[in-house]
Amino acid sequence: MAGPTRIEISRAGTADLDSVLGILDEATIGLLEHGIPTVWKPGGFSRQTFLEQIQRGEVYLAFVDKATVGTFILQWSDVQFWGEHPPDAGYVHKLAIKPAYSGRGIGVEMLKWAETAARNSGKKFLRLNCLAADRKIRDYYEKAGFIHVDDVVEPRGTASLYEKPI
Ligand SMILES: CC(C)(COP(=O)(O)OP(=O)(O)OC[C@H]1O[C@@H](n2cnc3c(N)ncnc32)[C@H](O)[C@@H]1OP(=O)(O)O)[C@@H](O)C(=O)NCCC(=O)NCCS
């Protein structure tokens, strides 16, 4: 495979709402088509919640050659999964790419970008969570340098918490 694909990242604006939700829907359909366990549902992402997150400046889009290919959220606290913490970390959520762009290392490039953004904001860790029962995505994050910290029982299933010193 060729080297990492060159990506560009920019903060999503409110006009990008459909684009963000479209990527998440496509990624979810891709998971379901491959029989991969997920708590995500196509059409199940709340427009209002995403609009508010976009307005807080927490939602990002990734581009390859000007085409929109991926999205993720980067926020500075995550009480739901991590509880109260000193403001020492960035928290990534909803990391997703369009299935047509998978297998090119774009997800890892997005994570690296989030690491740099968090470090530049004075953070010491990048944190994320995933389904504890999903060994494959856990291996993916572990290969990307994330360390398993804890598991939390959530209504939708047990989540594994990961962090990477940055
Ligand atoms: C996670 C993601 C951004 C990584 O993108 P990427 O760096 O280009 O990596 P790939 O898409 O090639 O995925 C790597 C492998 O993990 C698999 N995979 C992707 N998401 C997975 C998931 N949630 N659970 C288990 N396996 C998953 C892919 O099928 C692929 O398997 P393969 O190598 O056997 O083909 C992308 O796969 C994606 O959008 N997945 C769907 C959304 C998702 O699950 N996000 C993470 C939620 S915790």
**What's the pLDDT at 5?**
77
- 54-110: per-residue pLDDT in tens? 999 999 999 999 999 999 999 999 999 999 999 999 999 999 999 999 999 999 999
Exposed/middle/buried for 146, CB within 10 Å: 0-12, 13-18, 19+? buried
CATH H-level, domain 8-121: superfamily: Gcn5-related N-acetyltransferase (GNAT) (3.40.630.30)
Structure tokens at 101: 């762009």
pTM for the complete prediction?
Answer: 0.96
Q: Among 47, 48, 49, 5, which residue's Cα sits nearest to residue 22?
A: 47
- Residue 133's identity, in one-letter code, is A
- Atom of ligand 1 minimally distant from the CA of 96: 39
The pLDDT confidence band at residue 156, using thresholds 50, 70 and 90, is: confident
Percent of residues, the chain, with pLDDT higher than 90: 93
Q: Which residue minimizes the CA distance to atom 27 of ligand 1?
A: 137
| Segment 49-58 mean pLDDT | 98
- Atom of ligand 1 minimally distant from the CA of 128: 48
Q: Domain spans of the chain?
A: 8-121
Residue 144 CB neighbour total at 10 angstroms: 17
- Atom of ligand 1 minimally distant from the CA of 31: 41
**What's the pLDDT at 2?**
56
Output the CA 137–ligand 1 centroid distance in Å.
7
